Amino acid sequence: MTHQHHWRRLAIAGHEGDESTARAALTDTDPVARQFALGSLHRMDALTQTDLLEAFADDSPAVRHRAALLAAEWPEVSLLPLLHDSDSTVVEAAAWAAGEQEEVDDAVLELLCALGTSADDPMVRESAVAALGAIGDERGLPTILAGCVDKPAVRRRAVLALAPFEGAEVDAALAAALVDRDWQVRQAAEDLLPHMSPALDDQPEDS
């Protein structure tokens, strides 16, 4: 059987509720098949917390990445192991999932704060900052404010992540974003402005 045929069977299993076929592929030697197995079990509501946690420890970064995305719908599952992952794509996905979970424990929150300022990969910083905005915990605000002076892609996410917060520092960061050299950062600030402090309503428009 070719890989493509096997993958097709696994995808169909998810639509047809064939749990035995999907579950058997969780230990397949092919990492793509293991990814399909996770997705198919999720589709038929047969994925268990044990399945997810075992996938967190999979040898393949692609499988761990898939598990991180699925964990977004499992708020009771801590993403801490994947936020410590050696592969930045896995960490990025885990940070996104933490933002989707919205309620996270202190260890996850603290690591997101650290990643948002110190991760080498700007995509990880961007994802961490966005997650902190979705979580809305005041302890994440310093990291979001730091993101407002990071690379343009991070700044755009950080500006939007200001939404749950208020105060002089937030107003100052938003005011700076309104005149940022990157037009997408300015646009993000303009989109957010109606939901923020009225003190910023008189900011001059970009010419």
pLDDT by residue (tens digit) across 23-40?
888 898 999 999 989 999
The pLDDT assigned to 207 comes to 40
Give the separation between CA 117 and CA 100, rounded to whole angstroms: 20
The reported pLDDT for the residue numbered 2 is: 60
In a domain, 75, yes or no: no
Does residue 164 belong to any structural domain of this protein?
A: yes
- State the pLDDT at residue 24: 87
Note whether residue 73 is domain-resident.
Answer: no
99 falls within a domain? yes
Tokens of 146: 């730091």
Type of residue at 174: L
Domain containing residue 133: 81-200
Domain-embedded: residue 126: yes
Contacts of 17 (CB under 8 A, 6+ apart): 44
Q: Which amino acid is at 197?
A: S
What CATH number is given to the structural domain containing 128?
1.25.10.10
Number of structural domains (the chain) is: 1
**Mean pLDDT across the chain:** 89
Q: Is position 34 within any domain?
A: no
pTM: 0.86
- 36 lies in some domain: no
How does pLDDT run across 72-124, given as a tens digit for each residue? 999 999 999 999 999 999 999 999 999 999 899 999 999 999 999 999 999 99
Q: Looking at residue 123, what is its pLDDT?
A: 97
Copy the structure tokens of residue 20. Answer: 């035995």
Encode the chain in three state secondary structure.
CCHHHHHHHHHHHHHHCCHHHHHHHHHCCCHHHHHHHHHHHHHCCCCCHHHHHHHHCCCCHHHHHHHHHHHHHCCCCCCHHHHCCCCHHHHHHHHHHHHHHCCCCHHHHHHHHHHHHHCCCHHHHHHHHHHHHHHCCHHHHHHHHHHCCCCHHHHHHHHHHCCCCCCHHHHHHHHHHHCCCCHHHHHHHHHHHHHCCHHHCCCCCCC
Residue for token digits 């030697």?
Answer: 29
Q: CA dihedral in degrees (65, 66, 68, 72; nearest 10)?
A: 150
Q: Is residue 62 part of a domain?
A: no
